[in-house]
């Protein structure tokens, strides 16, 4: 006699009865769909790491799994009665049937109450459609979002009627209401997940997601994302404004996160580095810049991510002309003073650098000219000093010669004058008087 208890058993302990895995599947299919049963047994075999053939005798573990599987629908005690009756090869008594039905009803009611309580505490609108395109489950948020009249929503209501009501009230936008209804029904029949955003007439925005259920049917969720969309639109406007400002300043601007990934670049930066903003966003600068430039920036980036504001100069050849840039990295601190990333600002200082270079060259030229003039003056002074020495020596020699000449000439008496000497001899005009 086949029987099973709830005591602990070893894994895959052999069963000496004649019940096969296929018998247990047939038993489960009396209460559940064949597809659901196959999926459950396949999942069990995958977890056990051992295939389950329908002709294989069922082990104790498989029997206990079957009992637990049925308990999810019938309840624990009813599932035990059903399994034991099947193993013993006998029918189920009327009292057992009543007990099973009663417990199954209680389980069903409990599961339904649990499901309803769960979906009522979700801030999304939820509707569940069965394989026959009938509404079976919904929550209060679903009713609030669409403001259905009382006679529309009920268990078993046809979805085409609900869709048609929404279409005629402009819920799906302009167009033929019947086309909207047919499209929605086709989405359910296709059994493919889908998602879309719906802009409604009252200005609100809904995010609608549809997902198929394993046994057929569809689950729809409706999320009011009006506030989120407004924030997104405000951010887009803000970003557009920022782009207008930054794209029209004569500077290169970029922003990186703490992993050194690009999050923002302005037009001047993109043109200077020949990059596409859509292609570099999310990529590290080492993967975008040339290897040499990236290596040069590593120490500056490390200092910036450590919280230091740094500046350095770089040079770039643009259109066969050398351009000089002053680069400033500024860390971006969060509320907790943690580093969120850093800003990069490139300012063109070519004119200033060229002026500095020109001034330096002018100073060097002036200094050279001063040195040359100083040298010339020094040489002129030396020549003048030499000339002065020669002149002094000549004067000295002349004095000495004069002195020698005077010393060599004999002295005359003081009263002696040469005869016939007149003033005319002395160059006197008019009268020539003899001198006595």
At 246-304, the pLDDT tens digits run 888 889 999 999 999 999 999 999 988 889 988 999 999 999 999 999 999 999 999 99
Residues 6+ apart with CB under 8 A from 145: 125, 206, 222, 224
Query: 323 versus 421: which is more confidently predicted?
Result: 323
**Domain limit, last residue, from 189, 224, 259:** 224
Say whether pLDDT at 306 is over 90: yes
pLDDT reported for residue 151: 84
Q: Is residue 156 within 8 Å of residue 136, measured between CB atoms?
A: yes
Mark which of 224, 252, 279 sits at the end of a domain: 224
The two beta strands, 205-212 and 218-224, are antiparallel
Dihedral (CA of 135, 141, 146, 150) sign: positive
Sequence-distant (6+) residues with CB within 8 A of 130 are 136, 216, 217
Instruction: Give the count of beta carbons closer than 10 Å to the beta carbon of residue 99.
Output: 17
Give the three-state DSSP class for 114. helix
Higher pLDDT, 6 or 89: 89
pLDDT at res. 161: 92
- 292 and 317 within one domain: yes
Tell me how far apart the alpha carbons of residues 168 and 170 are, in angstroms, rounded to a whole number: 5
Residues 157 and 212 placed together within one structural domain of the fold: yes
Q: Which of residues 260 and 9 earns the better pLDDT score?
A: 260
pLDDT of residue 285: 93
Distance CA 310, CA 304 (A): 7
Q: Give every CB contact of residue 73 below 8 A, 6+ residues apart in sequence.
A: 31, 32, 79, 104, 107, 108
Place of tokens 């005319």: 424
CA nearest to 63, candidates 46, 32, 87, 45? 87
Which residues 6+ apart lie within 8 Å of 111 measured at CB?
none
Does residue 354 lie within any of the structural domains?
Answer: no
Q: What counts of helices (H) and strands (E) characterise the chain? A: 13, 11
The percent of residues in the chain predicted with pLDDT above 70, rounded, is 81
In a domain, 251, yes or no: yes
Exposed / middle / buried, residue 121 (Cβ in 10 Å: 0-12, 13-18, 19+)? exposed
Is 147 a domain residue?
yes
**Cβ pair 339, 257 in contact under 8 A:** no
| Pairing state between β 321-333 and 194-199 | unpaired
Residues 112 and 163 occupy one common structural domain: no
Read off the pLDDT of residues 10-59 as tens digits, 9 standing for 90 and up. 444 444 567 788 888 888 887 777 888 888 898 899 888 888 888 888 88
For the chain, what is the domain count? 4
Q: What is the pLDDT of residue 142?
A: 87
Q: Which two tokens stand for residue 188?
A: 């359910």
pLDDT computed for residue 296 by the predictor: 92
pLDDT score of 419? 56
My answer on whether 157 and 204 are in the same domain is yes
Same structural domain, 114 and 73: yes
Is the model's pLDDT at 101 over the cut of 80?
no
Tell me if 54 sits within 8 A of 96, measured CB to CB: no
308 and 380 fall within a common domain:
no
126 and 102 together in one domain: no
Would residue 233 count as lying in a domain?
A: no
Using the structure block, give the residue that is written with the tokens 């082990």: 59
pLDDT at res. 1: 37
CA distance 436 to 159: 168
- Structure tokens that stand for 101 in this block: 């039905």
Q: Quote the pTM value.
A: 0.46
Q: Strand (E) positions, 90-151?
A: 125-129, 134-138
pLDDT digits (tens, 9 = 90+) for 197-232: 999 988 899 999 999 987 788 899 999 999 999 998
Closest among 258, 264, 251 to 327, alpha carbons compared: 251
User: How far apart, in whole angstroms, are the C-alpha atoms of residue 282 and residue 1?
Assistant: 68
Query: What is residue 318's predicted lDDT score, i.e. its pLDDT?
Result: 72
**Is 14 inside a domain boundary?**
no
Element (H, E) at 327: strand 321-333
Is 13 part of any domain?
no
Same domain as 417, residue 436: yes
pLDDT of residue 47: 87
**How much is the pLDDT for 6?**
39
End-to-end Cα distance, the chain: 194
Confidence of residue 436 (pLDDT cuts 50, 70, 90): very low
- Banded model confidence at residue 7, pLDDT cuts 50, 70, 90: very low
CATH number at residue 344: 3.30.450.20
Helix axes 60-74, 94-120, angle to 10 degrees: 70
> Closest Cα to residue 27, out of 47, 73, 94, 12?
73
Q: Which of 283, 314, 348 is the last residue of a domain?
A: 348
For residue 89, pLDDT over 80 is answered with no
> What's residue 393's pLDDT?
83
Q: 140: domain range?
A: 122-224
Average pLDDT of span 295-314: 94
**pLDDT number for residue 23:** 84
User: Same domain for 131 and 113?
Assistant: no
Asked if the structure places residue 264 within a domain, the reply is yes
**Three-state DSSP state, 128:** strand
Residues 338 and 243 in one domain: yes
Which residue blocks in 121-225 are alpha helix, DSSP H?
140-146, 159-168, 177-190
Is residue 92 located within the same domain as residue 162? Answer: no
210 and 151 in a single domain? The answer is yes
* pLDDT (tens digit per residue) in 328-376: 999 999 888 899 999 999 998 888 877 877 888 787 778 778 888 888 8
Confidence of residue 2 (pLDDT cuts 50, 70, 90): very low
What's the pLDDT score for residue 96? Answer: 47
Percentage, residues of the chain above pLDDT 90 = 28
Q: What is the mean pLDDT of residues 172-194?
A: 90
Query: Both tokens of residue 408?
Result: 């060599």
Burial class (CB in 10 A: 0-12, 13-18, 19+), 209: middle
pLDDT, mean of residues 113-132: 76
Q: Is residue 75 part of a domain?
A: yes
Instruction: Tell me what the pLDDT averaged over the chain comes to.
Output: 81
Cβ-based neighbours of 428, under 8 Å, separated by 6 or more:
422
Residue 93: pLDDT band with limits 50, 70, 90 = very low
- Least confident window among 292-301, 312-321, 413-422, 423-432: 423-432
């Amino acid at each position: 006699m086949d029987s099973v208890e709830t005591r602990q058993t070893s894994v895959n302990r052999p069963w000496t009865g004649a019940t096969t895995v296929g018998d247990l599947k047939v038993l489960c299919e009396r209460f559940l769909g064949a597809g659901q049963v196959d999926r459950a047994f396949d999942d069990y075999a995958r977890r056990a790491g051992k295939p389950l053939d329908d002709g294989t005798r069922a082990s104790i573990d498989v029997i206990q799994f079957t009992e637990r599987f049925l308990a999810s629908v019938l309840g624990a005690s009813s599932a035990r009665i059903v399994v034991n009756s099947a193993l013993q090869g006998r029918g189920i008594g009327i009292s057992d049937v009543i007990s099973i039905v009663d417990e199954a009803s209680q389980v069903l009611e409990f599961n339904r109450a649990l499901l309803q309580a769960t979906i009522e505490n979700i801030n999304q609108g939820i509707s569940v459609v069965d394989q026959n395109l009938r509404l079976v489950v919904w929550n209060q948020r679903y009713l609030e979002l669409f403001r259905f009249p009382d006679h529309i929503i009920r268990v078993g209501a046809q979805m085409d009627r609900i869709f048609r009501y929404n279409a005629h009230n402009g819920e799906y936008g302009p167009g033929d209401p019947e086309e909207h209804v047919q499209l929605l029904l086709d989405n359910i029949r296709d059994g493919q997940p889908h998602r879309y955003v719906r802009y409604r007439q009252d200005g609100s925005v809904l995010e609608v997601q549809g997902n198929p259920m394993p046994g057929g049917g569809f689950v729809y969720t409706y999320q009011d994302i009006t506030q989120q969309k407004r924030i997104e639109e405000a951010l887009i406007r803000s970003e557009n404004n920022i782009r207008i400002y930054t794209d029209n300043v004569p500077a290169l601007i970029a922003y990186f996160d703490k992993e050194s990934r690009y999050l923002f670049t302005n037009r001047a930066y993109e043109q200077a580095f020949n990059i596409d903003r859509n292609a570099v966003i999310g990529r590290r600068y080492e993967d975008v810049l040339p290897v040499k430039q990236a290596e040069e920036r590593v120490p500056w980036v490390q200092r910036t991510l450590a919280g230091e504001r740094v500046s350095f100069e770089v040079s770039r050849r643009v259109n066969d002309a050398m351009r000089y840039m002053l680069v400033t990295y500024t860390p971006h601190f969060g509320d907790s003073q943690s580093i969120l990333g850093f800003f990069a600002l490139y300012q063109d200082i070519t004119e200033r650098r060229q002026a500095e270079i020109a001034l330096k060259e002018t100073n060097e030229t002036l200094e050279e000219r001063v040195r040359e003039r100083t040298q010339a003056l020094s040489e002129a002074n030396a020549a003048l000093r030499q000339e002065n020495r020669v002149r002094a020596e000549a004067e000295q020699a002349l004095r000495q010669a004069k002195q020698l000449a005077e010393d060599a000439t004999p002295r005359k008496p003081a009263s002696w004058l040469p005869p016939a000497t007149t003033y005319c001899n002395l160059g006197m005009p008019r009268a020539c008087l003899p001198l006595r």
